[in-house]
């Protein structure tokens, strides 16, 4: 496994985490505050961070982009997991550790995305 592939794998996973977190901020945060009955707190938050209104207007494209990034990151994770690690013991351990951390970061991204999607699109239908 070359260094460039490892760097690209990390970059893709970090970008997918960022995309999933943006879905959480734009879309799930308002639904969570309303569900908890903290509408006044949310109104105060909007007055101090008015960009949240702009983000929530584009929640479907943001969610779609985050989903595409997670699919792409999943493919990169799957692809790099099948590449051989170096024969050198130290490099081999580093390779396996990087793969494990990359997989964890990916699954954290998926969890954040699923949480945000449920709070954005599913729970408001039942309230």
Q: For residue 63, give the nearest of 22, 100, 102, 93 by alpha carbon.
A: 22
- For residue 78, pLDDT beyond 60: yes
Q: Residue 38's pLDDT is what?
A: 75
DSSP state letters, 56-115: HHTHHHHHHHHHHHHHHHHHHHHHHHTSPPPSSHHHHHHHHHHHHHHHHHHHHHHHHHHH
Distance CA 69, CA 65 (A): 6
The confidence band for 5, taking pLDDT boundaries of 50, 70 and 90, is low
Q: What is the pLDDT of residues 42-67, one digit of tens each?
A: 778 778 877 777 777 888 888 888 88
| Per-residue confidence (pLDDT) for residue 4, from 0 to 100 | 52
């Amino acid at each position: 496994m070359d260094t460039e592939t490892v760097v690209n794998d990390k970059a893709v996973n970090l970008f997918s985490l960022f995309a999933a977190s943006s879905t959480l901020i734009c879309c799930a945060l308002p639904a969570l505050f309303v569900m908890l009955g903290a509408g006044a707190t949310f109104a105060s938050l909007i007055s101090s961070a008015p960009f949240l209104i702009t983000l929530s207007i584009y929640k479907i494209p943001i969610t779609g982009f985050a989903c595409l990034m997670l699919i792409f990151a999943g493919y990169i994770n799957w692809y790099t997991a099948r590449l051989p690690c170096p024969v050198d013991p130290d490099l081999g351990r580093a390779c396996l550790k990087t793969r494990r951390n990359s997989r964890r970061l990916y699954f954290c991204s998926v969890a954040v995305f699923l949480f945000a999607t449920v709070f954005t699109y599913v729970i408001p239908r039942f309230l």
